[in-house]
Structure 1
Amino acid sequence: MGTQEQTEVASQSGTRLADSWVTIVWNDPVNLMSYVTRVFQEYFALPRSEAEARMREVHEQGRSVLSTGSREQMEVDVQAMHSYGLWATLQRSGE
């Protein structure tokens, strides 16, 4: 691979990393754990065991990262979580 190609690949990789965002769902005192599990199953298409593990992470650690992707997609996911009555935010991946 030539220097120009290596630079382009590195540049593209950097762009992908810089463009990577996450949706974080936060613990709240309102929603039942069974409801949160169901939301994770329905919206994120998680198997029940994974949805329960993520719900426990939210409950015990205060938050869980539920999705990763472009900022635009994470904005959609955050808005969806809000429509379900869950507290969610987005941030750059790795922050």
Structure 2
Amino acid sequence: MGMSTLTDRQADEKLEAAPDVPWQTVVWDDPVNLMSYVVRVFRQYFGFSQELATKRMLQVHHDGHAVVAEGAREQMELHAQAMHDYGLWATVRKAPQ
């Protein structure tokens, strides 16, 4: 058994031992969608206020990405799929500790 396999298994066990580690849905910048459309998607799907939706859109625009949701992995994957359905680029990641 190689050392990396052991390390991977330990990492998996650590994750399972800490199921409360939150996950995030991250929306990434793309050259296609208008800023106004991204704001509309965030308002419609997440129920963000105009102010919050605009703030997140500007993060995407200026920083290249923004965290739009945090919680259980399954829910974050549903959010990412919904963003794909709207034509946005989104991924799911473990929240930084």
Give the TM-score normalised by structure 1: 0.81
**1:16 aligned onto 2:40:** no
Provide, for residues 6-35 of structure 1, a one-character-per-residue CA deviation record: whole Å limited to 9, x for no partner. Answer: xxxxxxx94312xx1000000000000000
**1:52 aligned onto 2:54:** yes
Q: Name the count of aligned residue pairs.
A: 81
Query: 4+ runs of 1 displaced by more than 4 Å?
Result: none
Alignment of 1:56-71 (within 5 A): 56-71=58-73
Structure 2: segments with no counterpart, 5+ residues: 1-16
3-state DSSP of counterpart to 1:94: coil
Work out the percentage of aligned pairs sharing the same amino acid.
51
Distance (Å, rounded) in 2 between the aligned partners of 1:37 and 1:67 = 15
* CA-CA distance at 1:64 after TM superposition: 0.1
Give the TM-score normalised by structure 2: 0.80
3-state DSSP of counterpart to 1:73: helix
Structure 1: segments with no counterpart, 5+ residues: 1-12
3-state DSSP of counterpart to 2:60: helix
Distance (Å, rounded) in 2 between the aligned partners of 1:15 and 1:86 = 28
* CA-CA distance at 1:60 after TM superposition: 0.3
